[in-house]
Homo-oligomer: A and B are copies of this chain.
Amino acid sequence: MRKVSPKTLTRALFYIRTLNRLLHLGGSVVSSKELADIMGFSDAQVRKDISNFGKVGKPRIGYKVAELKQVLEDFLVQDVVHAALFGVGNLGSAILRYSGFHQNKIKLVAAFDIDKNKIGKTINGVPVYAMKDIREIVRRTHVDIGIIAAPEEASQDIADLIVGSGLKGIVNFAPTSVSVPKGVFVKDIDLSIEFLSLFCDMQHS
């Protein structure tokens, strides 16, 4: 199958989210125009994206919701993604308790912190370990990605730990860039920047 760009992949995840909602609402078919309107894309964009994954639609009809969802999921999220969390503070705790993951093939398998009061506890079913145990846990447990939800000062050290334990993907919520070797993927989510960029877009539009 042809190479698909990251942008298309991300939009495809939004398509899946919307298709799930439509399924839940009882819809059975949907057109590119309807999908586009719901998500704020163009209909041409939707069709071109979907065409990456095969010829799923029928002219004059549209796409069968269940079938399209299946095709996208087969391509994108075959397995459950196992994630480990680093830093059980305000944000980390909220992530541990976030209820949206289990519907989306994401499983938090371990959390790490340096606070002795937290180590050994279980939050929402996820055990909290000492930071130094990461290598052993990653060896014993299937982990795909690491999530940094620690203070700025600790983020680079944690990134190094994550990389050292062999993981290749990091979601970084800390408000600072971390440097990693080539081949490791980092996604930065800085709440301040997210808010500010929305506001900048508003002002400079």
Q: Which residues of A contact B (CB under 8 A)?
A: 3-4, 6, 9-10, 13-14, 17-18, 21, 37-40, 76-77, 81, 83, 90-91, 93-95, 97-98, 100-101, 103-106, 144-145, 147, 168-171, 175-177, 179, 185-202, 204-205
Contact = CB atoms under 8 A, between A and B. Distances in A.
Contacts of A202: 144-145, 168-169, 185
Contacts of A98: 90-91, 191
B14 A193 contact: yes
Contacts of A106: 192, 195-196
A192 B9 contact: no
A194 B198 contact: no
B9 A201 contact: yes
A181 to B, nearest CB: 12
A196 B94 contact: no
A17 B145 contact: no
Contacts of A6: 197, 200-201, 204
A138 to B, nearest CB: 16
A185 B200 contact: no
Nearest to A149: B94
Contact of A104 (B179, B188, B189, B196): B196
Nearest to A200: B9
Contacts of A170: 198
A197 B91 contact: no
Contacts of A176: 17, 21
A63 B105 CA distance: 45
Nearest to A94: B94
